[in-house]
Amino acid sequence: MLLLNIGVARAQTSATAENPYYARKNTFSLFSAYSGDSSHMILGIAENRMLLEFGAGYSRRLLHNRIVNWQYNGEILPVALESDPNSHVVQVQTSPTSAIYTYDTWPDIYCATVTTPYSQTIDKVTYSGTYTDSCHGRQ
């Protein structure tokens, strides 16, 4: 009985000694990313930005032992959709004549309605009024 137990123990240690570190030789992966509102980032602020991504990856193990796990990876990102808000500006001029101008511009940092007064003199004529900036539509 003692011999049988020793033989079993020896078979177990030799099987685990052959390949003590396990890692797949080939690995395939699918991934996606979605952000419905990227309002605060590490290096800045960008409100109301949307992001959608889909991709695939492949990894191949080249060498794996107790010191090194050497592999190469490849990824493909065929779908990367980004959506930014447009900025809609309404300029109401009150002096020297009354006029209203509207136009769309590049997206602002903040997506909030902001009204600011202005007054500037060009060739001895003072133009004054207000700018109203708000988010409108997407690009």
Whether the per-residue pLDDT at 60 is higher than 90: the answer is: yes
> Mean pLDDT for the chain?
79
Q: Measured in whole angstroms, how far is the alpha carbon of residue 58 from the centre of its chain?
A: 21
- Comparing 91 with 136, the larger pLDDT belongs to 91
Q: Are strands 125-138 and 85-95 parallel, antiparallel or unpaired?
A: antiparallel
**pLDDT tens for each residue of 24-50:** 889 999 999 988 876 666 776 667 788
Contact 46, 85 (CB under 8 A): no
Residue 18, CB-side half-sphere exposure with 13 Å CA sphere: 5
Three-state DSSP state, 8: helix
Confidence bin at 7 (pLDDT 50/70/90): very low
Rounded CA-CA distance 56/30 in Å is 4
Return the pLDDT at 112.
Answer: 77
